[in-house]
Amino acid sequence: MAVRRFTLGFDYGTNSVRALVVDIATGEEVGTGVYSYEAGVDGVITDSLDPTLARQDPKDYIEGLQKAGKKAIAAATENVKGFNKDSIIGIGVDTTGSTPIPVDEEGVPLGLSQKFTNNPNAMAWLWKDHTSFEEAEAITDKARDMRPHFLAKCGGAYSSEWFWSKIWHCLRVDPEVFNAAYTWVELADFIPGLLTGTLAPHVLKRSICAAGHKGMFSADWSGYPDGEYLTALEPRLGLIRRALPNVSYTAGQKAGGLTPKWAERLGLKPGIAVSIGAFDAHMGAVGAGVKEGTLVKIIGTSTCDIAVAPKATGLPDVPGVCGIVDGSVLPGYIGLEAGQSAVGDIFNWFVKHSVPGSCYEEAKAKGQDIHEFLTSKAKKLLPGESGLMALDWNNGNRTVLVDVRLSGLLVGQTLQTTPWEVYRALIEGTAFGAKVIIDRLEEYGVHIEEVVNCGGIAEKNAMLMQIYADVTNRTMKISRSAQTPALGAAMFAATAAGPDMGGYNRVQEAQVAMGGLKDIEFAPIPANVEAYRKLYIIYKQLHDAFGTTTYAQSLYNIMKDLLDLRDSVREQKRTQGQFI
């Protein structure tokens, strides 16, 4: 019988880290371990006086690495006959991002030192920390003046979610932390460096995924932004630039071998390959089978949309995307990232703050959670029946407007509006936002033939998937794995291990062997497609009126158009005997 080989993928999410042991020949997931971060609220350190602040304690990352990893390996040992530590040939890591960490000359996070204990500014600046929106605007303005080609590769505007804006904000609000930091390291680079003993900044290998999409890194201008530009922003930012390398690496390349120390902590063989890291959405896209013509949507608290384009096509710059980076997703392809800053977070906000207690009581009586209850009511509605329209900007707009200071909007409420009507309108708003992204990609030559979805929402909410299919007029497919980021990390681990260890030459080979889709698909319903086509016109009016400076038309028609569509749908239902 052939010897089975496995890899271990770590997925560092917003609230927890998940470890996954995968058979590299079949993609069978044989062991899982989860560690929920302990610091803060659901793992996130916040500030009641500043809702834009979101930090994490690096201790949680290290504790989670050991505990989640050991749980997954123990589960694999129990589930697979003959499994032992030599069965695992490689480790891969994905993380949130941009999540930069200030570190000392040895690469140790400042938040682990006694001096900066409990100082949020010395900890990891989580991806959804938006405290640096002013710095992001200044970075964008200066780049337009001095280095417009920098912006061309990141959608035309720099974000408060990203590397340089966070570092600059730290300098402004906590110079002591900034001055103590030798450099800053993305979480996606920190974990592989920790596992391989290469944390020291002069040896640490930085990923092109993190550097390219969030750090303005490109081989076209020899790496990170030049010192002249950074000094023009703030002279002390030039000090950070001098500590950064001019090279970066693609996932699937080796960050190094597993150290004896971490081999002992995890119960693995020392020296096995550890892959270069990447962001969760990018590895999730690989785990879901991203390829030319396939858009992968990772739907969770927010969404990330990932696509690739061949380098040979001469892809133009795409305004509003979160990066156009060579090799950030698949080696040999241009990786494109887009997304929405809030999706699941919008639904959770609504049920926590706006749903009356009577709904909770009825849901409990039916044995449903509140999301299931609202969905069961909302799925009986037809497109346009509620008369509502929502903008999906409750946490700003990531793509295509790239404006963190935009906010949510609900139009069309009456004294008869129900919670489930609002719930459906919020879902529809996120679907319209998804269509904006697809339209922008196709407008610039990135053709989208199919959409593959992954994440808990995609798996659990069939109504949402059908609405997405109807709004975008594309069949929605679902990844076979419920843990596509960790699966993608495991695929890259198999690539880093290479054929000599039983792995793969190319990650595309690992995708074929280890990936797959569920049998269920959601095809567009023609009548719904036409209804949503009319509603999308209204969405785009609101989108352009509130999100751009060039829209000059009257919005007088919007409420009237929504009422007309509502009344038309309700009359249709009456004539079909659907109303008593």
| pLDDT (tens digit per residue) in 320-359 | 888 899 999 999 999 999 999 899 999 999 999 999 999 9
Question: Do 132 and 41 belong together in one domain?
Answer: yes
Q: What average pLDDT does the segment 136-155 reach?
A: 93
Q: Residue 579: which pLDDT band, with cuts at 50, 70 and 90?
A: low
Q: What average pLDDT does the segment 62-83 reach?
A: 96
Q: What is the rounded distance in angstroms from the CA atom of residue 9 to the CA atom of residue 573?
A: 50
> What is the CATH number for 50?
3.30.420.40
Question: Do 60 and 139 belong together in one domain?
Answer: yes
Counts for the chain of helices (H) and strands (E), in that order: 21, 21
Tell me the DSSP string of 3-34. Answer: PP-EEEEEEE-SSEEEEEEEETTT--EEEEEE
The number of domains in the chain is 2
Domain-located, residue 489: no
Q: Tokens 């996932």: give the residue.
A: 251
Q: Is 87 exposed, middle or buried (0-12, 13-18, 19+ CB in 10 A)?
A: buried
Domain-located, residue 378: yes
Q: What is the rounded distance in angstroms from the CA atom of residue 186 to the CA atom of residue 540?
A: 36
- The encoded tokens of residue 76 equal 């694999």
Question: Do 265 and 335 belong together in one domain?
Answer: no
Question: Do 296 and 245 belong together in one domain?
Answer: no
Q: For residue 1, what pLDDT is reported?
A: 52
Pick from 408, 403, 392, 345: nearest CA to 160: 403
Question: Do 403 and 321 belong together in one domain?
Answer: yes
Question: Do 511 and 550 belong together in one domain?
Answer: no
Q: Is the pLDDT reported for residue 580 higher than 50? A: no
Q: What average pLDDT does the segment 22-42 reach?
A: 96
Question: Are the C-beta atoms of 315 and 324 separated by less than 8 Å?
Answer: yes
Domain-located, residue 23: yes
Domain-located, residue 472: yes
What average pLDDT is seen over the chain? 95
Question: Do 296 and 423 belong together in one domain?
Answer: yes
Convert the pLDDT of each residue in 221-280 to its tens digit: 999 999 999 999 999 998 889 899 999 999 999 999 999 999 999 999 999 999 999 999
Q: For residue 301, what pLDDT is reported?
A: 84
pLDDT over 70, % of the chain = 99
* C-alpha to C-alpha distances, 303 to 122, 298, 521, nearest whole angstrom: 28, 5, 20
- pTM for the model: 0.89
- How many Cβ atoms are within 10 Å of 409's Cβ, its own excluded? 15
Domain of 444?
290-480+516-555
Question: Do 19 and 66 belong together in one domain?
Answer: yes
Question: Do 373 and 241 belong together in one domain?
Answer: no
Pick from 163, 167, 23, 7: nearest CA to 89: 7
